[in-house]
Structure 1
Amino acid sequence: MAQIGLLNRNDDDSFDGTLEMKSYNDKVRMIPVARKANDRAPDYRLYGRADNGKRFDMGAAWVRTKTDGQGTYISLKIDFPELPAPVYATLGQAADQDDADVLAIIWNRPETGR
């Protein structure tokens, strides 16, 4: 597991933070989707900041139910042209952090395709 970013939950259920990858190391914002097209549509959209200062779509996130049925977590798919393949991650409590509104973006290397 590797922490590749940090997000702070805002009062409106959006998140602001940073993503730290070789191909992108800057601020990000994750915004709730107001009207989902269907049950499988993302719950959030993830945006980055381009060199010209404008935001660009860099991924999506879904609220998932834990396999034991006890609670939920947020699963992210980060994908933009500079990446050779999508990066899948989850949000979890940041190390050495007691604030439940500060979450780490945690990447796990896939078992296959190495």
Structure 2
Amino acid sequence: MATIGTFTKNVDGSYAGTIKTLSLNVKQAQFRPNEKTDEKAPDFRLFAGGAEFGAAWKKTSRENRDYLSVKLDDPSFPTAIYASLVDAEDGYALVWSRSRAAH
């Protein structure tokens, strides 16, 4: 797993922070609460400035810890990036790990 972002939670329920990888450098990313129109709709939408480039769903781990399951996507990406926003010492960490291919 690699930490690719750090976030803090705001009083309005949104999360603000940064995302950085070798090819991505978003200095002002924000998970904004989404008004769900159905149960499959995301709980949050991810923005950089005015551009939306991801979504997140509330989940609970097997260890009974709450987290956000995040999908980052943009036309410049070869494929979507999947990550998790989890509790960290100083706020929240956006962690990514490469999925294992089934053999």
Unpaired stretches in structure 1, ≥5 consecutive residues: 50-54
After superposition, give the CA deviation of every residue in 1:72-96 in whole Å (9 maximum; x if it has no partner). Answer: 22110000111100000001233xx
In structure 1, give the amino acid aligned to 2:16: D
Report the number of matched residues.
Answer: 101
2:53 is aligned to 58
- 1:109 and 2:98 correspond: yes
1:71 deviates by 4.0
2:69 is aligned to 75
- 1:19 and 2:19 correspond: yes
The TM-score with structure 1 as length reference comes to 0.80
In structure 1, give the amino acid aligned to 2:79: A
Q: Which runs of 4+ in 1 moved over 3 A?
A: none
Q: Tell me the distance in 2 between the aligned counterparts of 1:31 and 1:87.
A: 18
1:112 deviates by 1.4
Note the aligned Cα RMSD (angstroms): 1.6
Does the 8 Å CA contact 1:90/1:106 hold for their aligned counterparts?
A: yes
- 1:93 and 2:82 correspond: no
The TM-score with structure 2 as length reference comes to 0.88
The percent of aligned pairs where both chains have the same amino acid is: 37
Structure showing greater Rg: 1
